[in-house]
Amino acid sequence: MDPSEVEFLAEKEMVKIIPNFSLDKIYLIGGDLGPFNPGLPVDVPVWLALNLKQRQKCRVIPPEWMDVEKLEEMRELERKEEAFTPVPSPYYMELTKLLLNHASDNIPKADEIRTLVKDIWDTRIAKLRLSADSFISQQEAHAKLDNLTLMEINTIRAFFLDSLNCMYKLRSNLQPGSATGQFTDF
Amino acid sequence: MSDSLANDSGDLDQDDSQEELMTPAELISSLEEAWLNEKFSPELLESKSEVVECVLEQLTHMESNLQRVKKGDAKASIHRMEVDRIRFVLSSYLRSRLQKIEKFFPHVLEREKSRGEGAPSLLSPEEFAFAKEYHANTETYLKAVALKRMPPNLQALDLLKAVPEPCLDSFVFLRVKEKQENILIEPETDDQREYVVDLEEGSQHLMRYRTIAPLVSSGAVQLI
C-alpha cells in the first residue's frame, strides 16, 4: 500500500475547526456536516479542514492529544515499556504531518510537537524492527500486534511479508513432497 | 415446493430490507472495507457487485445534482471533493481486482466454473467477460509468437499449470471485528507444535491468510 493511501484514510478523521464564514448544513454522501457559523467550532473531516484552511476560511483546532505535555508523557512511556503503548489516534503520525504542514500557525509549539511525534515514531519503529527480527528468527506462525497503527505496519509490510514468503518457499522446497508447483514463477 | 418458494422470497425480502437499512455512510465504509481486503488478500475475493452498483448510483445521482448548480457555489465544491474521494476508492478497488484477474486468470476462471449453483459469484459479469477475453488473448498470443514454431508434441499449452496460483500461505495483517475463538495456528517447523489462539474483538494480528480466509469473506476480520 502506498503511504499516500494511508494518508488518504487518515484524512477521514474528524477535526474541529472554527470557520469564518456561514453556510447551511451540507448533506454529503458520507454524512451531514455543519451548519457553519463564524466563530463557532464544528467537526469536519481533515480533508475538508485542510481545504478550507488553504483557502483561509477557517482556523484548525488541534486534537487534544496534540499537546507538548501529553506527548512528552507518551514519549517517556513509549521508551520505558517494552511493548507498544496505546496511541492517542490510529493516525497520529499522518495527522501530525498533515496538520503541521498545512495549519502550523494554528497549533501552538508546532516545532516541539513535530520533534516529539518523530521521537515516538522512531522508538516505535525500532521496537517494530526488533519484534520482526525475533518473529523471523523464532519462526513464529502468529503474532499479536495490538496498538500498531496502519502507517507503522505499512512501513515494514512489503519487505517483511516478501521475506516471509521467500523463506517459506525455500523451506517448503527443502521438505520433499511438500513442494508443489504452486510457487514456480516464470 | 411452495415452502421453498416462500423461504426464498423470505430471504429476498430480508436481503432487500438489509440493503435499504444501509445508510449511504455505511455503504461507503463497506466499500472501503472491501477495498482494503481486496488490496491485502493474496487471492481474488468475492465480488461485491451490489456495493459497487449502489455507490455508482449515489455518485451519478450526486453528479447530476452538481451539474445543476451554478459555478462558484461553496457547497458544490465540497460535494465535488467528496465525490472525487469516493471515486478514487471505487476505481482503486476495481483496479486491484483487475490486476488479480490478470495475474491469476486461469485459476479464477476455473473457480468460477466449478462454483456450485447459487454460490456467490467470484466475478461480476463485466469482470467475467474481461477474464475470458484475457484468457483467449493470452492463448492466441502465446500460440502466434512461439508455440506454432515448436515441434508438434510440445505445442500443447496448459495455462492452469503455466500461471502460478495465488499463494494462500502468505502472511497478512488483520484486525478482528467479531470475536473468534480457537483459531488453529499451524506450526512453521517440524519441532514446533500447533496451538490455538482466540481473536479478541479489536485486536490486531499477523498470521497466514489460509488460516483466516473464511473469516475475511464472512466479514469477521478486516485485513489491514
* Cell 500447533, residue located: B194
Q: Is B164 on the interface with A (CB under 8 A)?
A: yes
- Specify whether B158 is located in the same domain as B175: no
Q: What is the pLDDT of residue B127?
A: 92
What residues make up the domain containing B157? 2-165
Answer for the pair B75, A26: CB distance below 8 angstroms, yes or no.
yes
Question: What is the rounded average pLDDT for all residues in chain B?
Answer: 84
Give B116 or B196, the one with higher predicted confidence. B196
Q: How confident is the model at residue A11 (pLDDT cuts 50, 70, 90)?
A: very high
The structural domain count of chain B equals 2
* Cα A14 off chain centre by: 14
Domain-ending residue, one of B128, B150, B165? B165
In-domain check, residue A181? no
pLDDT for position A176 = 53
pLDDT in tens, B135-162: 999 999 999 998 888 888 888 888 888 8
DSSP B186: P
Please list every residue in chain B whose beta carbon sits closer than 8 Å to the beta carbon of residue A135.
206
Is residue A84 one of the residues assigned to a domain?
yes
- Return the pLDDT at B4: 40
The residue-averaged pLDDT of A59-69 equals: 93
| A141 vs B82, B161, B188: nearest CB | B188
pLDDT at A7: 94
Name the band, by pLDDT with cuts 50, 70 and 90, for residue A175. Answer: low
CB-based contact A145 B205, cutoff 8 Å = yes
**Mean local confidence (pLDDT), A65-86:** 92
Beta carbons of A65 and A92 less than 8 angstroms apart: yes
> In the predicted model, is pLDDT for residue B190 greater than 80?
no
* Residue B96 and residue B186 in one domain: no
pLDDT of residue B22: 81
Residue A121 has pLDDT above 60, yes or no: yes
pLDDT at B1 over 70: no
Which ipTM score applies to this complex? 0.86
Counted domains in chain A: 1
Judge if B21 and B114 occupy the same domain: yes
**B170-183 per-position pLDDT tens digit:** 899 999 998 888 88
Q: Which of A24, A141, A186 sits opposite B186 (nearest CB)?
A: A141
Indicate the helix (H) or strand (E) that contains A1. Answer: none
B205–A144 CB contact, under 8 Å:
yes
Which of B85, B88, B173 shows the shortest C-beta gap to A145?
A: B173
C-beta separation of A63 from A47 below 8 A:
no
pLDDT the model gives residue B165:
87
Nearest to A143 among B24, B85, B205 (CB): B205
Structural domain contains residue A71:
yes
pLDDT-derived band at B14, boundaries 50, 70, 90: very low
Rounded to whole angstroms, how far apart are CA atoms B74 and B100?
Answer: 40
**Side-chain-facing half-sphere of B158: CA atoms under 13 Å:** 3
Query: Using a CB-CB distance cutoff of 8 angstroms, which residues of chain B are in contact with residue A183?
Result: 164, 167
Write the CATH number for A155.
Answer: 1.20.58.1020
Q: What CATH number should be reported for the domain holding residue B111?
A: 1.20.58.1030
Q: How many CB atoms lie within 10 A of CB B168?
A: 14
User: What is the pLDDT, as a whole number, of residue B12?
Assistant: 39
Res. B218 pLDDT band, cuts 50 70 90: confident
**Same domain for B35 and B24:** yes
> pLDDT at residue B99 above 90?
yes
Q: Is B10 within 8 Å of chain A by CB?
A: no
Q: CA B195 to CA B146: how far, in whole Å?
A: 50
Cell numbers linked to A114? 513535530
CB contact under 8 A, B203 and A146: yes
Listed in order, strand segments (DSSP E) in chain B are 171-176, 180-185, 195-199, 204-208, 221-223
B28 and chain A: CB distance < 8 Å anywhere?
Answer: yes
